[in-house]
């Protein structure tokens, strides 16, 4: 018996040592709700004294203000494990009360473990803040990469385009909202990026959101973000594009496609510079510049009830209308040369065009604007077997519509060569009429004077 007693004493000593040296605060209550013991960790977490707790009923301690909410009392009532979150002396604590049952199924003890999660919460906040910064930095890096790749893309010497650039550089100095309009493929996004690149926000994020590419039921969460539990599958909070663009610029592309139900929330962002995440209750202040773009006629959308008039006025503080490529003919050759250099470098080739090819491409109306021109040049560079792309090669790429749009009097049955000759005749005739000298014509067109004379005779152009 003495040996058994010694063993029990040793086990009790070990358990007491574990109890007192545990990292978590431990609190033992009997079946009636009276405190039996607490360990040093609990006293350290709460700042209470053992004599203030041991021997007292949990209800009495709650009335004294030691506890606002007691997991122990709830566990006694429900006979289940209960976890509560409470604050004590500025500390955020998580407390779990677990009933211990005897052989008869009655509660014998309640053991509560309490952990100070203040540092853990701060660490979680830091992790979330770091994640937010990482996302912003990734956006900035992507923007800088795109900026590097597109550094020379602001191309244009025509008077109409120079006026646009003057307006862009004036607008970039201020934070006013800008609405960029223009046909598809005119380079509205490039204009928006140039506004950001030359603004005081240039070292901050540039975020683009295509309002037409994101389903209506997802666009709101994409823009505003959401809190954990806001909807099924929202296992953690997510920052929206507005927050990611904080201190930078956000481009709302295809703004004319934004659902009318979401436009009122955007109006609040413009007016108050604050957002509320889905499932959230508090407002979040943001510092962003909003640039919107569209190929739609917003005023027609307003008449049709598809766009809020008050939102239009908020967006249209500084309107910029990007001209179609057919309205800036002087820039077509510049753009062709730029895209030739770009795709030659990309595909390690040395493709170049002859004079006729340049003139045919310059004469086309380009309904798809710069995007159509870029795509065509890339295709020509990829498929061309020879380094020289002459006018005859274009027959594989340019359909009948190209020639009818160029005003070349295309008729069914005409061969491609006859159409090209018609272009050649027109160019020679107009150039000679302007300069009245075969020598000057030869110099301007980059061919010999003998060739000019011979072709003028061939086409019956009088000198």
Residues across the chain: 463
The SS3 call for residue 38 is strand
Going along the chain from its start, the domains and CATH numbers come out as 2-116 (3.30.450.20), 128-323 (3.40.50.300), 328-400 (1.10.8.60), 408-463 (1.10.10)
pTM of the model: 0.58
Question: Which contacts qualify for 303-310: CB closer than 8 Å, 24 or more apart?
Answer: 305/260, 306/256, 306/260, 307/256, 307/260, 307/263, 308/260, 308/263, 308/264, 308/267, 310/267
Q: What confidence score (pLDDT) does residue 241 get?
A: 93
For residue 153, the model assigns a pLDDT of 58
What is the DSSP annotation of 40-75?
HHHHHHH---HHHHTT-BHHHHHHTTS-SS-HHHHH
pLDDT at position 151: 45
What are the E-state strand segments in 39-164? 82-88, 91-101, 107-116
For the segment 327-380, what is each residue's pLDDT rounded down to a tens digit?
A: 898 899 999 999 999 999 999 999 999 888 888 888 788 888 999 999 999 999
| Alpha-carbon separation of residue 57 from 38, 71, 183, 334 (angstroms) | 13, 13, 77, 88
Residues in the chain, pLDDT under 70: 6-7, 9-12, 14-15, 17, 68, 130, 132-153, 232-233, 395-417, 419
What is the pLDDT at residue 386?
Answer: 86
């Amino acid at each position: 018996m003495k040996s058994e007693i010694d063993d029990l004493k040793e086990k009790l000593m070990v358990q007491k040592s574990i109890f007192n040296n545990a990292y978590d605060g431990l609190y033992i209550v009997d079946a009636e709700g009276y405190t039996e013991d607490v360990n040093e960790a609990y006293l350290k977490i709460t700042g209470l004294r053992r004599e203030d707790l041991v021997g007292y009923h949990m209800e009495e301690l709650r009335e004294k203000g030691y506890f606002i909410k007691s997991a122990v009392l709830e566990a006694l009532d429900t006979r289940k494990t209960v976890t509560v979150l409470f604050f004590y002396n500025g500390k955020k604590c998580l407390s779990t009360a677990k009933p211990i049952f005897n052989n008869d199924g009655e509660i014998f003890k309640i053991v509560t473990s309490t952990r100070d999660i203040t540092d853990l919460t701060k660490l979680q906040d830091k992790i979330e803040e770091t994640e937010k910064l990482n996302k912003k930095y990734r956006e900035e890096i992507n923007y800088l990469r795109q900026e590097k790749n597109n550094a020379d893309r602001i191309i244009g010497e025509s008077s109409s385009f120079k006026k646009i650039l003057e307006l862009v550089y004036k607008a970039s100095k201020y934070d006013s909202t800008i609405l960029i309009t223009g046909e598809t493929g005119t380079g509205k996004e490039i204009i928006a990026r140039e506004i950001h690149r030359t603004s005081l926000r240039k070292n901050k994020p540039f975020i683009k959101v295509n309002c037409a590419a994101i389903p209506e039921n997802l666009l709101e969460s994409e823009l505003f973000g959401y809190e954990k539990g806001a909807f099924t599958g929202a296992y953690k909070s997510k920052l929206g594009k507005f927050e990611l663009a904080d201190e930078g610029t956000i481009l709302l592309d295809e703004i004319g496609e934004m659902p009318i139900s979401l436009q009122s929330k955007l109006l609040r962002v413009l007016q108050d510079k604050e957002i509320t995440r889905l499932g959230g209750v508090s407002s979040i202040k943001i510092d962003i510049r909003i640039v919107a773009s569209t190929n739609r006629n917003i005023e027609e959308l307003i008449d049709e009830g598809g766009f809020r008039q008050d939102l239009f006025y908020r967006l249209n503080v500084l309107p910029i209308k990007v001209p179609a490529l057919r309205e800036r003919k002087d820039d077509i050759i510049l753009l062709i040369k730029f895209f030739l250099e770009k795709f030659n470098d990309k595909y390690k080739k040395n493709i170049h065009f002859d004079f006729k090819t340049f003139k045919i491409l310059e004469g086309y109306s380009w309904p798809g604007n710069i995007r159509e021109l870029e795509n065509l040049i890339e295709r020509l560079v990829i498929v061309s077997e020879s380094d020289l792309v002459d006018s005859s090669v274009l027959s594989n790429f340019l359909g009948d519509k190209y020639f009818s749009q160029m005003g070349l009097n295309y008729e069914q049955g005409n061969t491609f060569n006859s159409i090209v000759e018609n272009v050649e005749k027109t160019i020679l005739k107009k150039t000679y009429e302007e300069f009245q000298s075969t020598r000057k014509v030869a110099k301007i067109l980059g061919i010999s004077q003998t060739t000019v004379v011979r072709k003028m005779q061939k086409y019956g152009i009088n000198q």
